[in-house]
Structure 1
Amino acid sequence: MLVRPLRRTAVLTVLVTLLTVTVHLLWPGAAHASPAVQYTNPLAAQRADPHIFRHTDGYYYFTATAPEYDRIVLRRATTIQGLATAPESVIWRKHATGEMGAHIWAPEIHFINGKWYVYFAAGRADDVWRIRMYVLESSSANPLTGAWTERGRITTPWDTFSLDASTFVANGVRYLLWAQQEPGIATNSNLYIARMGANPWTITGTTTRLTVPALAWETRGYKVAEGPSVLQRNGRLFLTYSASATDANYCLGLLTAAASADPSQASSWTKSPNPVFVTSAATSQYGPGHNSFTTSEDGQSDILVYHDRSYRDISGDPLNDPNRRTRVQKVHWRADGTPDFGIPVPDGLTPVRLLSYDTPGAAVRHWNFRARLEANVTPLADSQFRLVPGLTGSGTVSLESTNYPGYYLRHRNFEAWVQQRDGSGLFDTDASFVRRSGLAGSGTVSLESANFPGYFVRHRAGQVWVEQNDGTSGFRGSASFILE
């Protein structure tokens, strides 16, 4: 992956082979924004339940469920995109008999007190659905090549179906999160939390049930709450989890707690009434879920890591379908400090937003396909565009809508619209722009019309236009954007 500041050139040719660009941009009064980060999806084929851990040694470590359910694999790279082509090591294989002999699921890798730990779920060779949680430990600097020790099963209050162990630290205390079937509750799995004990494979104290799948979107196909993961930002703990069957119904829910609250108390958490990340037929992404979080290479952006499929219809049991893929995209933040995951973006280069230089917080969006400038855009995807090679060819770029693939930002009688490509040469030139260093100066970009040189994308009176540069500071400010 390429990671570099925005290059100030007269013309930037967007290469089809470009994997990613990190653009470092600053502007007055807009400290809430983070730089644009771009990756290419999918990151890894046939890898479900992905977990990416960024370590202090400069590497990202990636593990996930292999579709054969028979081993634990691990990759590392110095960039997130680099994980796509990084060599993969098998660090552990299932037992031939007894415990840990089947259904090797959902590994997570963590670095705790100077050692590596992998949490995973496994069934028995003679009872594949007797699934419980287990832990591996390694003291090697490089966990891909070092030896691993089996630390055994995580003991919980009930000897029942349990999986998806994860761990986090809040206010100096380490907790274990997991999913389990509790006796007396007619669900496949609920979410639980407990403090960690003397070591990373032992819990201590009270076990607390955090949520039970009861809402319609949590119970499609199966009554499921699983795959918990915690993101800590803005004075709050955000706990995502996966719900419903592992087909196109799979989705993410959210629990929220104050950072100062005791996360081991169920009363500390509030459940969002609706899912926060769901299937998008428009982008051909189905059943997004079982996520984790990491950070971008510059440390400025939170990255959502998840799996989904590129098709809705599955033949047979979804668990036997091998084609869940690992994907990544940026987490955006609303003005109230809560995360906005948007929609699962199309395959290919991840999108950016065009934030106004002179109206901090406002972004270019489409509304009934007319382009306008607006703050706090809902839905988020209305303001996300893929920067792709220009429809007219070399030396230009085009902006493709995220939630309407095949639709592009174009000018029509100098009004800016987001419209479907019709195959005409006129459309292609109207939807192609030369990417310039921003008219307002450092840290901005401006988009000059390919067929009307000297005309730039700018906002005026809340709408977006393509108009001639009149040389005024007002025009320069309204025609300059920050990529987020």
Structure 2
Amino acid sequence: MGVHQSEINGVKPHIEQRADPFIYRHTDGCYYFVASVPEYDRIEIRKADTIQGLAEAEPAVVWRKHETGLLSANIWAPELHFIDGKWYVYFAAAHTSETNEGLFDHRMFVLECASANPLEGEWVEKGQVRTAWESFALDATTFEHNGERYYVWAQKDPAIEGNSNLYISKMNNPWTLAGKQTMISLPDLDWERIGFKVNEGAAFIRKGDRVFLSYSASATDFNYCMGLLEASADADLLDAASWDKSPVPVLTTDETLGMYGPGHNSFTVAEDGTTPLFVFHARTYKEIVGDPLYDPNRHTFVTELQWTEDGRPDFRASVAALRAT
């Protein structure tokens, strides 16, 4: 595409051609980065002492897709977590066969690594994360809250019209769900239903007495946008009534910045160990030739997370601040 529009407007991607970005800061002080690669055929991990260092870090390929069958196509949205002394990668993968090309037939899977360095250790396939249905499922994240580990993901309920809703469950272990599974959001608002009826890509953050789940909605072109769920930190997170949804999107395309279809975010912290950072992908041009899924130019951006006066994440102000950096 030549010069990126975002560069013209003074906003440069942190890492180019990496979608669905996830950055984790470990107890060793290092940052670890995973994301969807344009080929959708492997999982890479980068490691650096600083956020900036991730841009130049050499990726280590820790896993490649299978040739056929399960886990053989469209490796999407990996996340890297450290749980009970081991590393885990959560990701979605489709399967191929003579009659199936693997598009929109994803399931969720887990890899485990017991080595101290996840870039060098052996990764073991722990299998599929089983949910209430055997249907399209993707974009899992996990977090610990009030002593419990939760799993949040996007899935197609065969009984509900649309592409994917958001669900939450507790976990028995890092690859097995425990009991109750609750739908906490479905794409019932107009801005969540452009092109596709989608809620996906959830990310968890807590501030004070509230917890938040950001998520993405609509098609993956310039209509892609972000929504926000919130609950009391002391609420039953498995009760759908605990969650309130923003009636309007919290981040959308900003043509003044040359930033299109922002979404599928994660959160991390700055080098000071406390300042939250907002990590997300966006394109730097509006018009796409062909299927947006196969346009490689969704880039990773990182900015300090701003907050509103009433204590909610302010994604628009966070992105606007990129103009001044």
Task: Please point out which of 148, 166, 171 is paired with 1:196.
Answer: 171
Aligned residue number for residue 181 of structure 1? 156
- Deviation of residue 343 (structure 1)? 5.2
Task: Please point out which of 280, 294, 303 is paired with 1:320.
Answer: 294
Task: Please point out which of 45, 51, 56 is paired with 1:74.
Answer: 45
Structure 1 Cα separation of the partners of residues 180 and 279 of structure 2: 30
Alpha-carbon deviations, 1:333-370, whole Å to 9, x = none? 12211111125747xxx65xxxxxxxxxxxxxxxxxxx
TM-score, normalised relative to structure 2 = 0.93
Aligned residue number for residue 7 of structure 2? none
Aligned residue number for residue 105 of structure 1? 76
2:324 corresponds to 1:386: yes
Structure 2 Cα separation of the partners of residues 214 and 317 of structure 1: 24
Amino acid at match of 1:170: H
2:280 corresponds to 1:342: no
2:136 corresponds to 1:157: no
Aligned residue number for residue 63 of structure 1? 34
- Deviation of residue 125 (structure 1)? 2.4
- For the Cα contact (< 8 Å) 1:279–1:344, is it kept in 2? no
Structure 1 Cα separation of the partners of residues 12 and 140 of structure 2: 26
- Deviation of residue 308 (structure 1)? 0.4
Aligned residue number for residue 243 of structure 1? 217
Structure 1 vs Structure 2: percent identity of aligned residues? 55
2:264 corresponds to 1:293: no
Alpha-carbon deviations, 1:158-204, whole Å to 9, x = none? 0000001100111100000000000111110000000001x200001
Aligned residue number for residue 32 of structure 1? none
Amino acid at match of 2:80: I
Amino acid at match of 2:141: S
- 1:441-452 mapped onto 2 (5 Å cutoff): none
TM-score, normalised relative to structure 1 = 0.63
User: Aligned-pair RMSD on alpha carbons?
Assistant: 1.3
- Deviation of residue 97 (structure 1)? 1.3
Amino acid at match of 2:106: I
Aligned residue number for residue 17 of structure 2? 46
Structure 2 Cα separation of the partners of residues 41 and 119 of structure 1: 28
Structure 2 Cα separation of the partners of residues 344 and 314 of structure 1: 26
Aligned residue number for residue 122 of structure 2? 147
Unaligned runs of 5+ in 1: 1-39, 352-384, 388-484
SS in 1 for 2:70: coil
SS in 1 for 2:54: helix
Structure 1 Cα separation of the partners of residues 249 and 317 of structure 2: 11
Aligned residue number for residue 3 of structure 2? none
- 1:249-264 mapped onto 2 (5 Å cutoff): 249-264=223-238
Amino acid at match of 2:288: I
Unaligned runs of 5+ in 2: 1-10
Structure 1 Cα separation of the partners of residues 33 and 317 of structure 2: 23
- For the Cα contact (< 8 Å) 1:242–1:253, is it kept in 2? yes
Structure 2 Cα separation of the partners of residues 334 and 219 of structure 1: 27
SS in 2 for 1:342: helix
Structure 2 Cα separation of the partners of residues 262 and 286 of structure 1: 36
SS in 2 for 1:191: strand
Q: Answer 1 or 2: higher relative contact order, Cα 8 Å, separation at least 6.
A: 2
Larger radius of gyration: 1
Task: Please point out which of 245, 259, 279 is paired with 1:305.
Answer: 279
Aligned residue number for residue 304 of structure 2? 330
Structure 2 Cα separation of the partners of residues 191 and 292 of structure 1: 16
Aligned residue number for residue 55 of structure 2? 84
Structure 2 Cα separation of the partners of residues 79 and 117 of structure 1: 21
SS in 2 for 1:100: strand
- For the Cα contact (< 8 Å) 2:282–2:299, is it kept in 1? yes
Aligned residue number for residue 166 of structure 1? 141
Task: Please point out which of 92, 107, 113 is paired with 1:138.
Answer: 113
Structure 2 Cα separation of the partners of residues 239 and 60 of structure 1: 22
Amino acid at match of 1:143: P
Size of the aligned set, in residue pairs, is: 311
- Deviation of residue 138 (structure 1)? 0.1
